[in-house]
Structure formats: structure tokens, C-alpha cells
């Protein structure tokens, strides 16, 4: 999701923000609890997660299952044996544009093995491994989190647009101007940024952000202030990225503007955002993740039991589980927003990204969170769901290939030149 915002802390601390937006292995290692992994905002308002806690808890084993699938499918030490794993070969080709020689070496330009491609595969594998490390060992295992537990919010209303100027303790600044009404408070527009002696106040940097250029029209400032009572910090947002007032409360990121997502999806919604603060990183899941606006399935198991998961011609997108938004945001969290730009979203988007087979597209895919999500989902599906043999035969159940974005009757024996997303199945 877009990266238009920047954070400012109170006082004088400029912080970077960039944004954007499961169940089966019996042998799975134990994972940390939700509360071990995140500081969950309590309650049901201002981003509180209480009413979603059961759903969130069920997300974790499903993310673990997808991560384990991703680790297995991207292992750079597989060597020649990768040629026997058609599921890995096909998905590595369509999602990340890898091709391999008979010894399992990734091929670069001119179809020769290259160190760059080997290292790209290793880095993709490393991202999946970081997710595993986080799930199983917690935030202390991730160096870039600096021993600071990330927060998890279940709506962006923990950070709402405000005109009020708050002090460092989170209290409104009392207006001390001569002639000011008793009990009145300053706004971020009118609070003095210099004291009576002309010296800049502690909050000079922050408030000057909101006071230029001076403007009488409240809907025409360059920047708008978003305040977090939990962190006692402001986020400064350019006018173009200002959240919509949708009539259901304050202006906040999850309310839109709702312009993201594929153009053929009528209800484009915001799902999640990750921020990197000095105090603590945060993940915000929007309410749309948890309800009927979100992905189709609550768990991998529910999805697996749906008949269309073992039917040809089913869209990969329709197999999405609600946990994938958290997995997507966890990639931003663990690798950093700067190194994980959202180049494409949704299954058709990520498959389209590598269709031109250009080096720049390969690089973009290797950093793109949704590529990780749908790559691992596609691999997991083929591995865990088979097509039953026709009745009255002794045939074994057969593989279902999801690597082109739709379920098909066979896992192809190797990469083919034109294997982008298709709109319907071939059987
Ligand atoms: Zn994102």
C-alpha cells in the first residue's frame, strides 16, 4: 500500500513510516501465543482486538503452515532433487521467475547458472525462515525489532485525525494566550511554536509541520495530524493521503480512500498497514479482514474441506484465508517496509508481475509480500489437496496445479514460456 505518510513524534523525534496494507501439520513446532508475539491493544475501541481474539489466535497456525510450505518450496540446498519436486519448480517459476538446470542451480540470463539467482533464492528462503523464527521464538529473535515487542491493532482508529495539540503526557495543551477563553486548548494550527522570548518550543518541528502554509480553510491544509494516545505521538499525513470521513467515526486509515486493489473488484478495501516507529513497530489489521469483506475462509482447514478446493477451474484467489493479511504485514514488519515494497497484490497481480520475465520484475517479486503469500498458498494447496481418482478405478489421487492462478489437472513437468494467470481452467 502507498507510502505517502511520514511520522513525527512528540517531541522532536522524526520517525519513518511507510505503508502500504491455517491448519494441518501435525508435526509443526509449537508457536508463541498471540500475546507473546504482540502487544495486543485491549478493548474493542480505538483499535482494540478483544472481539477478534479467537480469530486472530486461529490465524497463527495457518500462517505457520504456509510459512513451512514456503520454506520447503524455496530451499536453495535442495540441489538436483528440486527437479523431482514439480510443485516447487512450477510455483518458483510463475511467482518468482526461477528456472533451474538439472543440478538444481537457478539460471540467470542466457540460461546459465548465476550466483545472483542463487542468492535471490536464498534471500526468499531467508524471509520465510524469519517468519518461522518470529512465530516460534518471538520478537526477541528478530534483530531489527531491537527487543521491542510490536503492537497489534484491530482497526486504525488508534490513530485518528485530530486538530488538538497534545502535550507529552497526552493532555490537551491549555491555551495561555491573552484573552483566550478559560479552559480552551490549542490546536496543532495555533499553538505557539516559539515562546515569549522567541525561542523555539520543544514541539517546534512537529507543529511547524501543521502550520505551513497558514490557511483559513480547514480542508485545505498541506498536512493533517493523526494522533495516537497509546504512543503519545502524531503522524503527519499529506492532504492527498488524508483518510476519508465515512460517517462512521473519525478519519482514520482503514476508512480509505478506497482506491487500492484490482480494478475489477467492486469493493476495494483496505486491509492492513505496518509502521516502524522508534518506540515500537505496529501492525494494524482493518475490520474488513475479519468479516465477509475479507478473504473467503477463516482457516486453511475450512478451505480444504470446500469442494471447490478439489475442482479444476477454481481461482487461487478464492482459496484465500483471512490470515494472509497478517502474514503479509508480518513480512513488512520483519524485513522493513523499505525492503518490502508492495509491487503487486492479489494472486492475479503477483502472477502478472513476473510475466515479462525481466530482471526488474524478478527483483520486485522477491520483495513483494503478496508474492510470498500466494506462492506459499499455491504450493500448500498442491501439496495438501489431491484430486480424487474417478470412481471404479484403482488410480491414485492426482495432483492439482495452482501455479497459474487457477486449479488445473496436472503439475506441469517444467516451466513453460507463457504461464501467467488465466481466467478459467482447462478441464
Ligand atoms: Zn503491504
Residue 200 CA to ligand 1 center (angstroms) comes to 38
For ligand 1, the distance from its centroid to the CA atom of residue 340, given in whole angstroms, is 8
Residue 24 CA to ligand 1 centre (angstroms): 26
Residue 37 pLDDT: 98
- pLDDT in the model for residue 22: 42
Question: What's the rounded mean pLDDT across residues 163-190?
Answer: 91
CA of 387 to the centre of ligand 1 (A): 33
Query: How far, in whole angstroms, is CA 224 from its chain's centroid?
Result: 24
**How much is the pLDDT for 377?**
98
Q: d(Cα 128, Cα 100) in Å, to the nearest integer?
A: 20
Ligand 1: centre distance to CA 202 (Å): 34
Among 197-206, 217-226, 367-376, name the most confident range.
Answer: 367-376
Q: Which residues face 315 on adjacent strands?
A: 406
| Alpha carbons 25 and 193: distance in angstroms, whole number | 58
C-alpha 105/C-alpha 77 separation (Å) is 10
Q: Which residues pair with 13 in a beta bridge?
A: 9
167 CA distance to ligand 1 centroid (A)? 32
Pairing of strands 13-15, 160-161: unpaired
Q: From ligand 1's centre to the CA of 327, what distance in Å?
A: 10
Position 101 scores a pLDDT of 96
pLDDT per position as a tens digit, 123-173: 999 999 999 999 999 999 999 999 999 999 999 999 999 999 998 889 999
76 CA distance to ligand 1 middle (Å): 26
List the one residue out of 319, 328, 349, 219 whose CA is nearest residue 270: 328
**C-alpha–C-alpha distance, residues 332 and 273, integer Å:** 9
Could you count the other beta carbons within 10 Å of the beta carbon of residue 109?
9
* CB 282 within 8 Å of CB 24: no
Tell me 107's DSSP state.
Answer: B
How much distance in Å is there from the Cα of 62 to the middle of ligand 1?
A: 19
- % of the chain beyond a pLDDT of 90: 64
pTM of the model: 0.85
Name which of 320, 159, 177 is nearest 224 in CA terms. 159
Cα(147) to ligand 1 centroid in Å equals 23
Region 347-362 average pLDDT: 95
**Residue 289 pLDDT > 60, yes or no?**
yes
Task: Transcribe 360-389 into DSSP letters.
Answer: HHHHHHHH-HHHHHHHHHHHHHHHH--BPP
Work out the mean pLDDT of the chain and round it to a whole number.
85
Q: What is the pLDDT of residue 243?
A: 83
The yes-or-no verdict on residue 411 having pLDDT over 70 is no
Tens-digit pLDDT profile for residues 315-331: 999 999 999 999 999 99
* Beta bridge partner(s), residue 226: 161, 235
- The order of strands in the sheet holding 223-228 is 13-15, 6-9, 233-238, 223-228, 160-161
In this model, does residue 242 exceed pLDDT 70?
yes
Contacts of 137 (CB under 8 A, 6+ apart): 32
User: 102 C-alpha to center of ligand 1: Å?
Assistant: 35
Q: How many CB atoms lie within 10 A of CB 86?
A: 18
How far apart CA 415 and CA 134 sit, in angstroms, is: 33
Instruction: Name the residue among 9, 7, 11 with its Cα closest to residue 202.
Output: 11
Higher pLDDT, 356 or 218: 356
Distance from residue 330's CA to the centre of ligand 1 (Å): 9
- Considering the chain, tell me which residue range(s) the CATH 3.40.390.10 domain(s) occupy: 6-161+225-384
* Architecture, CATH, for domain 6-161+225-384: 3-Layer(aba) Sandwich (3.40)
Q: How far away, in angstroms, is 258 Cα from ligand 1 center? A: 15
- 331 CA distance to ligand 1 centroid (A)? 8
For ligand 1, the distance from its centroid to the CA atom of residue 375, given in whole angstroms, is: 16
175 CA → ligand 1 middle, Å: 40
Q: State the alpha helices, DSSP H only, in 265-316.
A: 300-304
- CA angle, residues 92, 98, 100, in degrees to nearest 5: 105
pLDDT score of 265: 40
pLDDT at 414 over 50: no
Query: What is the CA(191)–ligand 1 centre distance, in A?
Result: 35
123 alpha carbon – ligand 1 mean position (Å): 18
137-141, 265-269, 300-304: segment of lowest average pLDDT: 265-269
Q: How many residues does the chain have?
A: 427
* Contact between residue 121 and residue 89 where contact means Cβ atoms under 8 Å apart: no
Amino acid at each position: 500500500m502507498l507510502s505517502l505518510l511520514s511520522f513525527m513524534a512528540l517531541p522532536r523525534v522524526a520517525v519513518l513510516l511507510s505503508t502500504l496494507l491455517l491448519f494441518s501439520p501435525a508435526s509443526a513446532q509449537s508457536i508463541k501465543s498471540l500475546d507473546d508475539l504482540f502487544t495486543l491493544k485491549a478493548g474493542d475501541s480505538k483499535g482494540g482486538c478483544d472481539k477478534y481474539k479467537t480469530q486472530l489466535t486461529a490465524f497463527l497456525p495457518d500462517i505457520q503452515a504456509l510459512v513451512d510450505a514456503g520454506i520447503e518450496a524455496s530451499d536453495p540446498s535442495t540441489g538436483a532433487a528440486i527437479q523431482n519436486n514439480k510443485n516447487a519448480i512450477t510455483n518458483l517459476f510463475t511467482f518468482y521467475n526461477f528456472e533451474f538446470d538439472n543440478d538444481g542451480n537457478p539460471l540467470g540470463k542466457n540460461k546459465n547458472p548465476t550466483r545472483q539467482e542463487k542468492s535471490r533464492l536464498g534471500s526468499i528462503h531467508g524471509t520465510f525462515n524469519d517468519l518461522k523464527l518470529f512465530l516460534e521464538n518471538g520478537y526477541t529473535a528478530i534483530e531489527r525489532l531491537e527487543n521491542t515487542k510490536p503492537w497489534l491493532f484491530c482497526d486504525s482508529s488508534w490513530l485518528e485525525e485530530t486538530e488538538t495539540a497534545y502535550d507529552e503526557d497526552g493532555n490537551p495543551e491549555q491555551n495561555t494566550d491573552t484573552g483566550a477563553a478559560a479552559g480552551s486548548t490549542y490546536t496543532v494550527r495555533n499553538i505557539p511554536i516559539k515562546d515569549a522570548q522567541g525561542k523555539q518550543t520543544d514541539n517546534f518541528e512537529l507543529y511547524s509541520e501543521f502550520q505551513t502554509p497558514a490557511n483559513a480553510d480547514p480542508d485545505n491544509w498541506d498536512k493533517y495530524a493523526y494522533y495516537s494516545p497509546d504512543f503519545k505521538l502524531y503522524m503527519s499525513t499529506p492532504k492527498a493521503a488524508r483518510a476519508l470521513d465515512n460517517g462512521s467515526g473519525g478519519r482514520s486509515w482503514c476508512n480509505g480512500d478506497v482506491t487500492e486493489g484490482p480494478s475489477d473488484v467492486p469493493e476495494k478495501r483496505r486491509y492492513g498497514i505496518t509502521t516502524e516507529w522508534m518506540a515500537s513497530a505496529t501492525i494494524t489489521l482493518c475490520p474488513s479482514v475479519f468479516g465477509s469483506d475479507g478473504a473467503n475462509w477463516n482457516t486453511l482447514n475450512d478451505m480444504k474441506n470446500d469442494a471447490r478446493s478439489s475442482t479444476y477451474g477454481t481461482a487461487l484467489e478464492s482459496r484465500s484465508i483471512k490470515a494472509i493479511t497478517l502474514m503479509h504485514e508480518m513480512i513488512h514488519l520483519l524485513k522493513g517496509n523499505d525492503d518490502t515494497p508492495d509491487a503487486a497484490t492479489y494472486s492475479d497481480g503477483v502472477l502478472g508481475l513476473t510475466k515479462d520475465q525481466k530482471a526488474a520484475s524478478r527483483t520486485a517479486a522477491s520483495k513483494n509480500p503478496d508474492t510470498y503469500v500466494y506462492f506459499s498458498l499455491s504450493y500448500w494447496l498442491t501439496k495438501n489437496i489431491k484430486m480424487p481418482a474417478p470412481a471404479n478405478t484403482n488410480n491414485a489421487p492426482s495432483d492439482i496445479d495452482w501455479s497459474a492462478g487457477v486449479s488445473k489437472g496436472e503439475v506441469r513437468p517444467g516451466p513453460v514460456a507463457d504461464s501467467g494467470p488465466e481466467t478459467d481452467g482447462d478441464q
